[in-house]
Amino acid sequence: MICYIWGAGDPPVSFPRPTAEDLVIAADAGLSACRAAGVMPSVTIGDFDSLGEVPTEGEVIRLPVEKDETDMAAAIRIGLARGYRDFYLLGGTGGRADHTFANYQLLASLAEAGCLGILFGHDHRVVAMTSGSSLTFGEDATGTFSVFAVGGDAVGVTERGVYYPLEHATLSPSIPLGVSNRFLEGKTARISVEQGTLLVFFGDTFLPKELDMAGKSATIDPA
């Protein structure tokens, strides 16, 4: 079961379609993006300053204009409260750079809570992984990918089956050492981290095959 959350940013070129067992939440003006994509949300949440109207269809949760969390963060909180552990964030990039960065932080917080979070940007995807986790990409993975430490040093970073392999390296959040690596054609790629949190950026035409979160394995549905 996946909790899809639509934001008001740039819509992704492609994304997995939600099924009947999934929860779809529109965050404020993300409702317009849902409508454009032909997806009907189960829940719409926000203060509706961006949407410009209070929706009437489905479940509506109205938030105060002045609050300590973004609409996307509030939507994640609702999804967690309803038992979801896998989150696909769509429309979470573009527009205001500070909101995009906030969504990267939300990915990190999901990983640190033992959840899966994937952000579907317009032409890229991002997944977070944290201490003791590994991320596997199948042989269909192509193009470049980048790995960045967030929240502090990431220790014991290993990248195998890629053009520039790493073995037990330390990545710093202030030095972009992990930018622009490449997948190898026909090779399975594996990224792991012993301690710390990583954001992994990759192309929009495929998804990782599996995320092992400190021994808790999650197979990711294909796009």
pLDDT at residue 219 greater than cutoff 60: no
pLDDT, mean of residues 134-138: 92
pLDDT band at 218; cut points 50, 70, 90: low
- Across the chain, what does the average pLDDT equal? 88
pLDDT at position 221: 53
Return the bridge partners of 85, or none. Answer: none
What CA–CA distance (Å, rounded) separates 78 from 161? 38
Between 52 and 127, the more confident residue is 127
pLDDT at position 30: 84
What CA–CA distance (Å, rounded) separates 45 from 28? 6
pLDDT, mean of residues 113-140: 91
The predicted-structure confidence for 18-76, as pLDDT tens digits, reads as follows 888 999 999 888 888 888 888 889 999 887 777 777 777 788 888 877 777 888 999 99
pLDDT at residue 223 greater than cutoff 50: no
pLDDT band at 204; cut points 50, 70, 90: confident
pLDDT at position 168: 96
What CA–CA distance (Å, rounded) separates 198 from 74? 23
pLDDT, mean of residues 194-220: 78
**Range 155-192 burial, b when 16+ CB lie within 10 A, else e:** ebbebebbeeebeebbbeeeeeebeebebeeeebbbbb
E-assigned strands of the chain? 2-6, 23-27, 43-46, 59-62, 86-90, 116-120, 124-130, 133-137, 144-160, 166-171, 181-182, 189-193, 195-203, 210-213, 216-219
